Copies of this chain bind each other. A is one copy, B any other.
């Protein structure tokens, strides 16, 4: 699917992005604006979830924003009614917060999507819906790399709720014919991600520590390997899924070019930032219990179906990310 094809599909296309002020949602919004889409964002600006007006400052006059909660059925009915593609990225993504406050995670990641899907079914059953799923639904890998057939046994409440959120999409697909796709994201990184706390994944926190000239703390020897997706690549996958008939009813893994050990990643960030350091400490017990060890995904399915593959390598992606936060970091802390 070429840039030309995407531009033809999205030019003038009425799209909705939930979580549109957040990290991936706002990067997607930038691309959609560039492609000439009729872009409506919805975001509840929930505390600590990454919604940030600065994320869309450059395109603010070329799209519309509704500050609203997916759980508000009446508002969602209005917002989805004329949209042709719904990118459903709203949610709470912190594993840690989901264990501290499981009922809030349930609200954000189960009630939110279910209310949105009900709105689509009742008011816009022809919409295409692309959901931001997560590799967390797999839990501890029983084999690597992990493909879409791998058992789903999440190890934290966030993973269980995101799995339920994904299942709802497919229930609505089978029962009502809604054209849904789930992209199971791995560790996505890049500009416009919240750096304020360390509860939204290790990567933005590593970057913040390095930029601050502080220590990056690794648990154990840092030998567990992970795959990373640069946010532009993740956005490209959303665009392809929204524009393709072949994506309806399908789950696709995203992935990265090469898995990297956390210790090598930490060292690379310190090297590229020119500041910070890396320190190893023993595993805290409560962290070890929900850690999943090495994880990297097999993205063969989406490569074959939609021609997607990651293009930005880790060094390049990190350089762009560090440059972004050097310029605009004060908006993300």
Chain A residues within CB distance 8 Å of chain B: 99, 102-103, 106, 110-111, 114-115, 118, 149, 151-157, 159-161, 163-164, 167-168, 170-171, 174-175, 286, 289-290
Contacts and interface: CB of A to CB of B under 8 A. Distances in A.
A156 B168 contact: no
Contacts of A155: 171, 174-175
A118 B102 contact: yes
Contact of A115 (B103, B157, B160, B286): B103
Given A152-B152, A153-B167, A103 B114 contact: yes
B114 A290 contact: no
A175 B289 contact: yes
A156 B175 contact: yes
A151 B149 contact: yes
Given A102-B118, A103-B111, A114-B106, A163 B167 contact: yes
A157 B114 contact: yes
B157 A170 contact: no
A199 to B, nearest CB: 16
A171 B160 contact: yes
Contacts of A110: 106, 110, 164
A192 to B, nearest CB: 30
5 contacts: A106-B110, A110-B164, A114-B157, A153-B170, A163-B167
Q: Which 3 A-B pairs have the closest CB atoms?
A: A160-B167, A164-B164, A102-B114
Nearest to A162: B164
A110 B161 CA distance: 9
Contacts of A149: 151
Contacts of A171: 154-157, 159-160
A218 to B, nearest CB: 21
A159 B164 CA distance: 10
Contacts of A175: 99, 155-156, 286, 289-290
A245 to B, nearest CB: 20
A242 B215 CA distance: 48
Nearest to A99: B175
A82 to B, nearest CB: 23
A163 B153 CA distance: 10
B102 A174 contact: no
A165 B111 CA distance: 14
Given A163-B167, A175-B286, 13 more contacts: A103-B114, A103-B115, A106-B114, A110-B110, A151-B152, A153-B167, A153-B170, A155-B174, A157-B171, A160-B164, A160-B168, A160-B171, A163-B163
A174 B289 contact: yes
B151 A151 contact: yes
A102 B172 CA distance: 11
